[in-house]
Structure 1
């Protein structure tokens, strides 16, 4: 069986020529493959981390791209790019989107040896392949506004997810979902801790926090981050997962927070700047 997402781009042209709705094809064929996979119990940054990243991204979009983005968000019923980043989690209870569950993450070995799709991205897809796929769909002016709007929502979420280090965690523990820990005495797992509990410790009001972040990003940082590739984002997350997130102790608290808050903050800023660049480039191609 060919890989789901790597084959989708080739299928789009055939589907468009025959007038068949790609969503119908996915529902009938692709979902069956995805259903064979055991999903993880947690897939993404928490809602506020997604909102922060989207709000940062908005600040780095040109006015022209903001207008195009607003139009697509309106088609999808989304009020802002910040809220749009939570959409791919809000649809998780919808059976029509069950096939998207594996696209939020990629599980790797402990040693970074580069990315090879045939080795690292399973048949049902992964976050890196999903970013490539939905970036191409957002840039495809032949698609309907609703198709491109959905691509924008998926792309936003997956770029943000790739910046959460545990989305590049170990296969053996499902990205930390199977690593039980306590954080300030509360029982949780390592993935959930990075999704929500670490950000919650220093983000009281996500809008206020997000508005403060551009002042903390230098011009050279922005240039370096924009020039990087999704594979490099993956390598960064993998490094942070194994150099920071995974630790031997299981009772975590203030020391762990102080060591890793700078990592979380950096990933939120990087995700925002890079998301803006991805959207900017895709929508400029769609003209």
Structure 2
């Protein structure tokens, strides 16, 4: 275990040096895993429709397109999309009320509804539908990162300073990239293996419920497992949450495929 711990610390150090703190959910590789799993679970006809839309905006794959909504954050013309990556919910939240929970600037749940609608609107331009597809794939991934339904007062964990294996970070960024860095090596290989491991029973169960139900899952995970009074986190925290984080990526892929299918097939 000591050797494994040292290996993980070295891998984590590489990740931390390579990427400055940001507020992107799951990091690039996490979103690529969600996008690749979604592609795997699309019906062949829907996959062709997706590929045509992505070709129209020069995106090579759904995996890469799933990172687009973070890549455009440096473009001022997309500043309006910044509040759509998250929804702040109180600890005692009992269910989604749009008027109460979603500010006028928008929120994650409203964004998913909006872009699923644009994707399915055959009167919309090809570019609008392609962007809706990329937003939808990304935001479903965001929804499954528990800290993206975190508390308003700490900005979803961004203001909760912790150390992880001795490295300074914050709780949001820990869940975005540092936690997944422990179990995702090559994202392509990881997604391929995950697709083989997800059972038909799991897929059927994960496709049930509503977007609000999926948000409730993240809310429970955030307050039951992610938030902690401890400031020095390491192996115990990682091992306790590794499988939970992995499952959220898997669920995000299955559910992104479901919403894309519904939009493009009109069901």
> TM over 0.5, yes or no?
yes
Q: CA offset at residue 41 of structure 1? A: 5.4
List per-residue Cα deviations over 1:199-241 (Å, max 9, x = no partner). Answer: 0111111111010002221111111111221001100000000
Paired residue for 2:211? 230
TM-score, reference length from structure 2 = 0.91
Residue 144 (structure 1) shift: 1.2
Maintained 8 Å contact 1:43/1:167: no
The answer to whether structure 1 residue 64 and structure 2 residue 41 are counterparts is no
Cα RMSD (Å) of the superposition?
Answer: 1.2
Deviation at 1:75, TM superposition (A): 0.8
What secondary structure does 2:89 align onto?
A: coil
SS in 1 for 2:163: strand
Name the SS for the 1:56 alignment partner.
helix
Q: CA deviation at 1:186?
A: 0.5
Unaligned runs of 5+ in 2: 1-20
Quick check: 1:132 aligned with 2:113?
yes
User: 1:131-184 CA deviation, whole Å, 9 max, x = no partner?
Assistant: 000000000001111110011011111011000000000111010000000001
Q: Give SS of 1:99's match.
A: helix
Tell me what 1:89 maps to.
Answer: 70
CA contact (8 A) 1:177 1:189 kept: yes
Question: 2:182 maps to what in 1?
Answer: 201
CA contact (8 A) 1:76 1:149 kept: yes
Structure 1 ranges of 4+ moved more than 6 A = none
> Hey, what's the Cα distance between the residues in 2 that align with 1:192 and 1:142?
39
Aligned length: 247
Written as runs of structure 1 = structure 2, the 5 A alignment for 1:150-189 is 150-189=131-170
Aligned to 1:118: 99
Residue 284 (1) aligns with residue 242 (2): no
Contact 1:75 1:149 (8 Å CA) reproduced: yes
Alpha-carbon offset, residue 255 of structure 1: 0.4
Answer whether contact 1:140 1:285 (CA < 8 A) is retained.
no
The runs of 5 or more residues in structure 1 that have no matched partner are: 1-39
